[in-house]
Amino acid sequence: MTDAFAILSEPRRPWLDADALKARFLPMASAVHPDRFHGASEAEKAAAEEHYAALNSAFNILREPRERLLHLLELEAGAKPGDIQRIPPGTMDLFVEVGQTCRDADAFLAKKSTATSPMLKLRLMQEGLERADTLMALQGRVNLLRDGLAGELQAMGALWDAAPAIGAPERRAALPLERLEQVYRVMSYVARWTEQLQERLVQLSM
């Protein structure tokens, strides 16, 4: 399996600094950019294009937290997590609240779309502002959960640094892969909730 960390000379860790990753990627990609190989042989051009594509793929995997965690789990555990739709422990309340808040917003938007009376439109405008406030407050709670997970991932880095070498039979037992999978599941829901909430906020602003 291709190792995106190795391609970009990054140590395997659950958390990476996005700016540092970009600073590492840009000169590596620039060195093998196809534009630099106009006068090269066909074999050299093909090799450069392959290397450039591999660098871009690795960068896109590592810069996005969910993709990075999924990739790391595959590398360390040898397989993708199963049953990713299962609601992670400790997130049921948010799961229910986000779902209900989005359904309420959808019902309001449907009512607003059929309003014709100027008085009713004015009243609905005020209600729309209140619903937007509710959505933003809920997004704030989702963001707090996301930030807490990012901090946990950063702290996990020490365990990866201290783990046995890649390929060692005892490496897997030394890593908190079960917890890493839980964090990956929660982050997947966080991304989904953020998309759902932002979609309603945009609709409410129109």
Q: How many percent of the chain have pLDDT more than 90?
A: 84
SS3 165: coil
CATH architecture for segment(s) 4-63: Orthogonal Bundle (1.10)
144 touches 33 (CB < 8 A): no
Sequence ranges of the domains in the chain = 4-63, 92-205
Please state the φ and ψ torsions of residue 159, each to the nearest 5 degrees.
-70, -35
Please state the pTM of the whole predicted model: 0.89
What lies within 8 Å, CB to CB, of 182 at 6+ separation is 88, 89
- Distance, in Å, from the CA atom of 200 to the CA atom of 112, rounded to the nearest integer, reads 13
Q: Please write the tens of the pLDDT for every residue from 28-42.
A: 999 999 888 888 898
81 touches 181 (CB < 8 A): yes
48 touches 7 (CB < 8 A): no
Q: Please write the tens of the pLDDT for every residue from 108-145.
A: 999 999 989 999 989 999 999 999 999 999 999 999 99
